[in-house]
Amino acid sequence: MREILSPADLVAAADGDVRVLWAGQGLKDRNRAWCAGDAVAVVAPELNRHDRIVVKGPIDDVAPLVRGVLGIVGPTYRPFGAEPLIREVVERIPELSLRATFGWMETDEPPAETVTARWLADDAGVAELLEEASPTSYAWPGAAGVTRWAGIEASEPSARPDGADLSAPEPEQGRLLSVAADAWSAPEVGFIAGVATLPSARGRGLSRQVCAFVTTELVKRHGRVGLMVDGGNETAIGLYRTLGYSYHPVGVAQL
């Protein structure tokens, strides 16, 4: 196996694989990458809250590369990649077990949306919203890798759409209703996390507006955007598909 030492060499080795480029993070700090044959493995500490080894390539090259990289970086790192590949890695390396499967979604096209979302001047109110709407969120204000937040605030009370919870009180004017974060973005790939909307404000298309805004902004800056989603969350997957995202099943293994 050979270590990849420059961002340009990693871009060449990735051959367009968005997850590999995302994991590289420009090879800054402790991010490292190796290749062997047609396989690439990128070590990304604390990427989206976990130590990851993001892999691509044929299993005959990937399996020994994963063994070698684990021997260097230690047991806290989790192999991550396309679900069929990770299942094969687990079969080849008995010390590993399949930890989880979920979805990776990506796009390189800004959605054609009219939005009222904007970048927030600070993080005020974001933690309060997450505590109520998404307490298991990986992205939180002040967390390492979380760069900035976009959101929509309550203005004057408006008519509620059909299906909305009419018993829920209107949030006070100026309170955040929906947010999303620019988090763990790499030079070549933006990343969206922390998408959440207050329960009392759901059903109004606010998450769609915030995600459309952040997607457009990150495509402009990075050229493409990725995010992770629960494979069983058809509502979220459907929303992201309408914004131009494609779905790719992924898996993660652990020792």
Q: Which pLDDT value is given to residue 113?
A: 83
pTM of the model: 0.90
Q: Which pLDDT value is given to residue 153?
A: 94
Tally of CA atoms within 13 A in the half-sphere of 5 that contains its CB: 1
pLDDT in tens, 74-98: 999 999 999 999 999 999 999 999 9
pLDDT in tens, 102-155: 999 999 999 988 789 999 999 999 999 999 999 999 999 999 999 999 999 998
Q: Which pLDDT value is given to residue 126?
A: 97
pLDDT in tens, 239-248: 999 999 999 9
Tally of CA atoms within 13 A in the half-sphere of 49 that contains its CB: 10
Q: Which pLDDT value is given to residue 155?
A: 80
Q: Which pLDDT value is given to residue 158?
A: 45
